Amino acid sequence: MISDKLKKIVFDELYRELGKAEIINYNGNVWFIDRQKKYWYFELQKDGRLWWRYSFFNDFFLLFSLSSFQFEPILKDWVEEVLNCKVNTTVRVVFFMNEEVEKVLNCKVNTTDGGVYYAPELVEEVLNHTIK
């Protein structure tokens, strides 16, 4: 267990380090990817499973002398704060195929649909939705 003060410092550093990452919804999963570097950090699947890039975060947390056992809950809490949704489980990824990042980055909008009316209750439903 780490102190709230250290957790705040880690959160601030995560915001700084991952500040250029885009949050991209692809096939119902949410990705954190630095488009310029074509480098992924997280994938939150629709079932609430959070995949995280071991090589990056293991190096990142060396600065704080934290092991993956200690920092994995911090990653979960940070992603929950950023996305305002629940993470059910976390999984480290040691090896990853870059082709998947390419698919996410190359995803295009196929069609658009305009409308004059929107339902405020639909906005509320979206805002109150949690990933399970």
Give residue 15's pLDDT band: very low, low, confident or very high (50, 70, 90): very high
Task: Please report the pLDDT score of residue 102 as a whole number.
Answer: 72
Give residue 113's pLDDT band: very low, low, confident or very high (50, 70, 90): very low
Closest C-alpha among 33, 38, 8, 13 to residue 23:
33
pLDDT in tens, 27-64: 889 999 998 888 889 999 999 999 999 999 999 999 99
Q: Are 33 and 22 in contact (CB under 8 A)?
A: yes
Q: Are 57 and 75 in contact (CB under 8 A)?
A: yes
Task: Please report the pLDDT score of residue 114 as a whole number.
Answer: 44
Q: Domain coordinates of the chain in residue numbers?
A: 4-127
Mean confidence (pLDDT) of the chain: 82
Q: How far apart are CA 53 and CA 20, in angstroms?
A: 16
